[in-house]
Structure 1
């Protein structure tokens, strides 16, 4: 899926509501005063938007503080249900987590980003800030780099032009030529590594899920602490298990198992 061009005539009132929703996602429990301090909008304007969102059950208020409504979860699940490979890949992710004992993520490519769809916890998972629904830059993640590697040059270059190479840690690749060299290596071997590039102290291996045309539509990664996920486990054992899982998903996609 390619990035849609932005409208040159945005509806400013809608954009204001979205600003409020985004802020409350990152900082649940803000009051009207706190929202006024954070947003470049008049207090009265913010108040009207809050009331409208509350009246439509997208927000709820408790002791003067505002929170996103759980009803938004229904929107997210509906969006996830349209991902054709989700059900079959989820089952494989559960099995892979059980086999490896590590945390396994299923992600989807949407526009210029990777979105976390589902995670399975192994026996020894590492707690991180990553969460279902989170959107990340592709170049920061093992599965994201694996998807970038299999994109047509024009689409890949467009993403890099629009989004740049945002740094998440000191290890994040922020030089374009260095990234392009790595993407070439990823295509040769079929999987990617994330060595502390998204979260300090976290290593991961990821591979793309591709549709029947060969286009990358999602990916799977196995991650864990760098002091455990290293050496032959990182370089050989986990990639072999991951690629076997990806092959099974592709067979299911090809023969209708993802429907």
Structure 2
């Protein structure tokens, strides 16, 4: 059940739920949405008509889908990260160099958000995709980002999302998480040691927008059988940090 931190306009909240349901269902009709959201068909129909009129939804027969207007909105949001072509190019290059899955993520509302992902020749399925949100405490990218926040900010995120166990290796107590974040601060990078998905390991490094403000994180993910401690030390850590630095320099001076 959702909890609201302030005054909420129900009609707007309902419209947001309709949009998210259309995304989840990859399009739907009035009846399906009514059942999915437990709204009356008349309420769903009114919301859809409003969204169609404003260009956020298109109607194809009896099916409603999200419109391409969201691409324009997405491009506008991505412009906050400077020339995103540089990020895209560097992540693609990182995937090619390592043969694994390379990713660029940022954080929003206490979770990481994947903004770009590329697969190398040996990449395995990781479940990540553009726009996906995941917990900060159980991912290498998330721990890098948390390590740059104040204790108060981290506590606020814990209050909001908790520390749910993803695998037996996940930090599920405040003490354990802060110990890991302290290690990340000292090292300048973070490792996900099968903390998010069993069988997958990941290394991530921060990308700084300025001396005191982070832009996001760069990471490489692969199977634990290949992502060994030895390869972390001899290859992955420096390669990931170098890619993060290239993005950082281009962002600051573009």
Distance 1:169 1:52, change over 3 A: farther
Deviation of residue 145 (structure 1)?
Answer: 0.8
Q: Determine the C-alpha separation between the residues in 1 that align with 2:233 and 2:202.
A: 10
Structure 2: tracts of 5 or more residues without a match:
none
Aligned length: 251
Say which of 116, 119, 136 aligns to 2:117. Answer: 119
Contact 2:94/2:243 (CA < 8 Å) preserved in 1?
yes
Off by >6 Å, runs of 4+ in structure 1: none
Q: Determine the C-alpha separation between the residues in 2 that align with 1:103 and 1:26.
A: 24
TM-score (norm 2): 0.89
Distance 1:199 1:26, change over 3 A: farther
Deviations 1:111-158 (A, max 9, x none): 422211111221111123211122222123211111101212222222
Say which of 216, 219, 227 aligns to 1:229. Answer: 227
Q: Determine the C-alpha separation between the residues in 1 that align with 2:83 and 2:175.
A: 32
Deviation of residue 227 (structure 1)?
Answer: 2.1
Aligned to 1:89: 87
Contact 1:212/1:253 (CA < 8 Å) preserved in 2?
no
Q: Determine the C-alpha separation between the residues in 2 that align with 1:167 and 1:47.
A: 39
Which secondary structure state, in structure 1, belongs to the residue aligned with residue 222 of structure 2? Answer: strand
Counterparts of 1:64-79 in structure 2, within 5 Å, are 64-79=62-77
Which secondary structure state, in structure 2, belongs to the residue aligned with residue 94 of structure 1? Answer: helix
Say which of 4, 8, 12 aligns to 1:14. Answer: 12
RMSD: 2.1
Aligned to 1:156: 154
Q: Determine the C-alpha separation between the residues in 1 that align with 2:25 and 2:167.
A: 22
Contact 1:143/1:206 (CA < 8 Å) preserved in 2?
yes
